[in-house]
Copies of this chain bind each other. A is one copy, B any other.
């Protein structure tokens, strides 16, 4: 049976992504950090790990990109997209006007700013480490406390749901990647992720690399810059393209990019996520 590692605790969107990827016949392993997920796969504790890579409002999850760029040779072997639905939950019997304290993961608080300003003006907010820790902390507080939570975390903690879909934007989603130890074979509808960088910074270096993709007719679906971590202003670029690293035109374009850059690392080819019927 496959073991799928994810950033816990249970009840987070990461757990939802792990289950969406692994289905009902896998076992799930919540870990306490994203680097721990990588190490669990590398050392065989888990067969696969799931990490968030991009949110439609917040952008890239830089911890994940930096792990793939700098710290591991694990390969991306899949992707999935999870709707971000946030709930206001509270201690039993507590109604909206009585709430004095709000626990929330800072990102979820940021994504529910309008609701909080309108419906909880003047509430005192406390940062929680996850959407699942927030309801736990609210239930343990002696003051009249609420939390921003996932649906699953509300169920797990027994917190009372006061409001649903409190996020500012209805259609917010997060894309997660699955990481494994082996390369995936082509399926006919794949994406490839890679990164590249330059020791020297001059006009045209990035453009020269990207032109090779354009010339080969390869569609770039994501371009992100990350600090090299050496010098402020020196970057490594992350690119997602349509196509598999075994496709002839992709091989050729990557070879040309490698010739123009000082670093090129392919982080995996994997089946493109296609929205399932009834999803989102």
What residues of chain A have their CB less than 8 Å away from a CB belonging to chain B? Answer: 54-59, 62-63, 81, 106, 110, 127-129, 169, 173, 175, 201-204, 206-208, 210-211, 213-214, 217-227, 229, 231-233, 235, 237
Contact = CB atoms under 8 A, between A and B. Distances in A.
* Binding site secondary structure of chain A: mixed
B235 A223 contact: yes
Given A57-B227, A62-B58, A207-B211, A219 B232 contact: no
Given A58-B62, A128-B127, A233 B221 contact: yes
A219 B207 contact: no
A232 B202 contact: no
Contacts of A59: 62, 225-227
A232 B275 CA distance: 12
Contacts of A232: 54, 56, 81, 173, 175
A13 B208 CA distance: 37
B217 A210 contact: no
A126 to B, nearest CB: 8
B231 A56 contact: yes
Contacts of A203: 213-214, 217-220
